[in-house]
A and B are shown apart, each in its own frame.
Chain A
């Protein structure tokens, strides 16, 4: 998961040497892609194609499944709930992650190592272990509920509620927000802050006019990853939520497992992927534009 950082930073942009070898050698090199390609085809492409196929052919050929999906009020509510949950998780990550990433940049080397380590701990902790831990923490009469009761908030139900899902998911996804943001913040030229304060700007003005705009690409990248991952998250909402407030991923599972409605599951899969791609495309445009204007200002 640590690779997300690389992924956000534009990832594998190998400074490739133009290959001037003989064509046969070149094909030999492309042959190196065959094992990975086969794996991807069997384990990734074919499954997605099967889902697409089901969406349009099961139980009958046509747009029947999509008509059902768009006409079913329950599905609309679930999609809306999935979106709201993803937005909430992203906002929580933004509120907790931005100051944390800032502190990572501002800290001395030793403290920074500690803060980095703490962000990486969840990375090497299994998703199942962390979700199980949240089942314990959020359970009725569990530690968190007793804590809230001591503070005087009463017995707030946490597990099997959307609140519990948001709490668990934002903890699981926070590192995905902090790491890309940290990567962007370390590259901000801090002399710009010095320059602005020597020109008479107070700390708040410097922050809002220099630091915040320059860190926005990191905020965009982090939010994007968190938001998209939230949309398709399965294990955490399935264990911390309830069937009554299920998200789209749980619905996909139910359609296949309980109802054997492959076509409907395929349709929801298509909806989820189309939405994901659309968000990626929009944010890529926005981030591209904002970085280019910042570079223009520089």
Chain B
């Protein structure tokens, strides 16, 4: 007697989950058809198709400029956050010291603190230091947010490898630098590379801090989108959104496939 009831429950569960899955994945995808609309409005679904909004995107210096700034800031953040984060992860895994838990907590605090408060404080600081709308300002702000995304995977790969390999290299006569370059680095490379890619994506997507530290002279792509959404109904935003979606998807798939392959080789 219980069987049909159980089957009904199961059916209901899977139906429910399919709906939740749709709700999770579908909304972001609607920017793709919208970017191909032929009308200068956000009306959805579009009734005719054209690529004029992409032409518009690449012919408008402010959109292209924003894309270039985003790519440049993202690349710099990937470098800065990866170096700082990898060094910190090495310090945290290689030595036990008093207050280590506190240091961990502080390094990860930017993930929990309300971003809006940090953003306004940063605005006040950069206002005085003349860093508003500068590449340096953006790189500092984004690197702080990107740090945990480097520290966590690098720590994981540092914990995952056999430290006797380093001792073995030392016994074979390698000095510290050679050991690091030839033994440690190749083994933690997956963690470092995925950390760098996550750092890039974090910076490329960041919007709240950027809104406060931007200036008309330097805007990243999400900031330009934000300003455009509040001001006008121009589907060029949808074209920009589709480009961001495409780029971050490619990068994240790269990370995932890269890690999967590394794991299989081992």
Contacts and interface: CB of A to CB of B under 8 A. Distances in A.
Interface stretch (A10-18, A59-67, A286-294): A10-18
B27 A171 contact: yes
A232 B20 contact: no
Nearest to B95: A19
Nearest to B145: A43
B174 interface: no
B117 A252 contact: yes
A139 B233 CA distance: 11
B96 interface: yes
Contacts, number: 275
Contact of A44 (B6, B25, B83, B113): B113
A126 B205 contact: yes
Given A3-B148, A124-B252, A129-B245, A143 B45 contact: yes
B116 A253 contact: yes
Contact of B24 (A18, A119, A139, A253): A119
A29 B97 CA distance: 11
Given A33-B88, A235-B226, A273 B113 contact: yes
B108 interface: yes
Q: How large is the interface on B (under 10, 10 to 19, 20 to 34, 35 or more residues)?
A: 35 or more
A118 B26 CA distance: 10
Contacts of A77: none
Interface string B122-137: 1111000000000000
Given A7-B111, A129-B244, A33 B91 contact: yes
Given A4-B111, A48-B121, A272-B114, A12 B208 contact: no
A265 interface: yes
Contact of B16 (A35, A50, A99): A99
A212 interface: no
A258 B140 CA distance: 26
A133 B87 contact: no
A3 B152 contact: yes
Contacts of B144: 39-40, 43-44
Chain A at the B interface: SS class: helix
A35 B244 contact: no
A139 B100 CA distance: 49
Given A33-B87, A239-B229, A50 B114 contact: no
Contacts of A272: 114, 116-117
Interface stretch (B28-36, B49-57, B181-189): B28-36
A222 interface: no
Given A6-B152, A32-B87, A35-B88, A48 B118 contact: yes
B58 interface: no
A188 interface: no
B90 interface: yes
B265 interface: no
Nearest to A45: B106
Contacts of B156: 6
B94 A50 contact: no
A183 interface: no
A36 B151 CA distance: 10
A201 interface: no
A128 B223 CA distance: 9
Interface in A28-71: 29-37, 39-40, 42-44, 46-51, 54
A32 B83 CA distance: 10
A96 B19 CA distance: 9
Given A115-B17, A122-B25, A126-B222, A36 B44 contact: no
A19 B149 CA distance: 26
A81 to B, nearest CB: 16
B230 A36 contact: no
Given A17-B96, A39-B84, A129-B245, A121 B24 contact: yes
A154 interface: no
B110 interface: yes
Contact of B116 (A133, A136, A234): A234
B21 interface: yes
Contacts of B81: 39
Contact of A122 (B28, B152, B222): B28
B254 to A, nearest CB: 11
B248 A124 contact: yes
Given A29-B95, A132-B225, A262 B124 contact: yes
A133 B83 CA distance: 35
B24 A118 contact: yes
Given A43-B141, A133-B241, A128 B222 contact: yes
A276 B87 contact: no
A181 interface: no
Q: Which 10 A-B residue pairings sit nearest by Cβ, starting from the closest? A: A47-B121, A232-B114, A43-B144, A32-B91, A35-B84, A36-B88, A269-B117, A19-B95, A126-B205, A124-B252
7 contacts: A12-B108, A19-B96, A36-B85, A122-B25, A127-B207, A129-B241, A135-B229
